[in-house]
């Protein structure tokens, strides 16, 4: 097991389509959903986590918008970029990303919340929004994104 503060994944990782893009080996992961065609906005302020998540989603076939790391950049992405759904961290450099969640909900985008905090950090109005907690399990994240409407629109 490779130890990383936010991602948990086996030492044998893949760089193949529909796999976990975090290493040199090329082992297909047919057990994971194919996210081909899904455009996913990634809002995450931690560089290494954002990069791992981007590569993970790319490896599963998704087209990643971002990652964006600040509220201003997230608002700009909401205004200017084409995407189908989003994965957002609720804490961006100490600022709450709830305004981003509010805009996503108002615009009808499906999204998932990625957080290192417990359910108490999620406002009641978003208790039913899919959530994944850090440390992430890469296959679980891919499966979560596949359940969002962005994957069905692909």
Which tops the pLDDT comparison, 26 or 23? 23
Answer whether 0.85 is exceeded by the pTM: no
**What pLDDT, on the 0 to 100 scale, is given for residue 5?**
38
State the DSSP code for 122.
S
Distances (CA, A) of 53 to 21, 56, 105: 9, 5, 22
Question: Residues of the chain with pLDDT > 90: what percent?
Answer: 51
Tell me the pairing of strands 63-68 and 39-43: parallel
Return d(Cα 78, Cα 142) in angstroms, integer: 22
* Residues facing 101 on adjacent strands: none
Over residues 86-123, the pLDDT tens digits come to 999 999 999 999 999 999 999 999 999 988 766 667 88
Question: Residues of the chain with pLDDT > 70: what percent?
Answer: 74
| Ordered structural domains, the chain, with CATH | 2-153 (3.40.50.2300)
The torsion angle over the Cα atoms of residues 17, 23, 27 and 29, rounded to 10 degrees, is: -50
**What pLDDT, on the 0 to 100 scale, is given for residue 133?**
84
């Amino acid at each position: 097991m490779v130890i990383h503060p936010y991602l948990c994944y086996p030492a044998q990782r893949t760089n193949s389509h529909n796999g976990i893009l975090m290493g040199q080996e090329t082992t297909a992961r047919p057990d994971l959903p194919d996210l081909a065609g899904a455009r996913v906005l990634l809002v995450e302020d931690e560089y290494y986590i954002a990069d791992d998540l981007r590569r993970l989603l790319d490896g599963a076939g998704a087209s990643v918008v971002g990652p964006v790391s600040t509220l201003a950049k997230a608002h700009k992405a909401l205004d200017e970029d084409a995407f189908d759904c989003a994965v957002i961290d609720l804490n961006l450099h100490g600022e709450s990303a709830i305004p981003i969640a509010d805009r996503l909900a108002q615009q009808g985008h499906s999204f998932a919340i990625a957080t290192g905090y417990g359910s108490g950090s999620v406002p009641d109005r978003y208790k039913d929004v899919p959530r994944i907690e850090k440390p992430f399990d890469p296959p679980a994240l891919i499966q979560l994104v596949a359940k969002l409407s962005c994957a069905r629109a692909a």
